[in-house]
């Protein structure tokens, strides 16, 4: 898992201008942003003890970038969440979390508690 994230980071092939391909690669793009990778890496204080997993959560009900920023801020305070990237345009949140401290269900619930409609899009 740690290896995967590192690989994403050193592989910045992001064809931004290619329409459909860009949409297909949006998850890769978000996973490869510096903020995301940096936050993730700095969260690995105890590599051996934590189990980092990634979940993509679909979020309905965001109306602007501030909504996404609000969700991201909330996730940052959520126990077990290591890093997150929330996109209003993609209507999704990509969350790295410690599976020994929280679950996908709890993260989805936390987003729902803010008033959005969240659901797991794919499992890591
Ligand atoms: Cu908003």
Residues 42-60: tens digit of each pLDDT? 444 445 578 999 999 999 9
Tell me how far the alpha carbon of residue 29 lies from the centroid of ligand 1, in angstroms.
22
Q: What are the extents of the domains in the chain?
A: 1-49, 52-123
Q: Name the residues around ion ligand 1, CB cutoff 5 A.
A: 63-64, 66-67
pTM of the complete model: 0.60
Is the distance from CB of 52 to CB of 44 less than 8 angstroms? yes
Neighbouring residues of 55: CB distance < 8 A, sequence distance ≥ 6: 94, 95, 97, 104, 107, 120, 122, 123, 124
- Count of helices and strands (H, E) across the chain: 6, 4
CA 84 to chain centre: 4
**Would you say domain 52-123 falls under CATH 3.30.70.100?**
yes
CA of 80 from ligand 1 middle (Å) equals 25
Centroid of ligand 1 to alpha carbon of 98 (angstroms) = 28
pLDDT tens-digit map of 19-45 = 433 333 333 333 334 344 444 444 444
């Amino acid at each position: 898992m740690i290896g995967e994230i590192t690989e994403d980071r050193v592989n910045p092939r992001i064809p931004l201008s290619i329409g459909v391909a860009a949409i297909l690669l949006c998850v890769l793009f978000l996973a490869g942003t510096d903020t995301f990778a940096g936050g993730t890496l700095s969260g690995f204080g105890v590599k051996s003890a934590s189990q980092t997993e990634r979940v993509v959560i679909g979020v309905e009900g965001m109306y602007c970038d501030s909504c996404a920023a609000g969700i991201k801020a909330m996730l940052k305070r959520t126990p077990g969440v290591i890093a997150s990237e929330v996109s209003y345009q993609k209507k999704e949140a990509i969350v790295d979390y410690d599976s020994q401290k929280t679950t996908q269900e709890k993260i989805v619930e936390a987003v729902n508690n803010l008033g959005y409609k969240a659901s797991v899009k794919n499992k890591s």
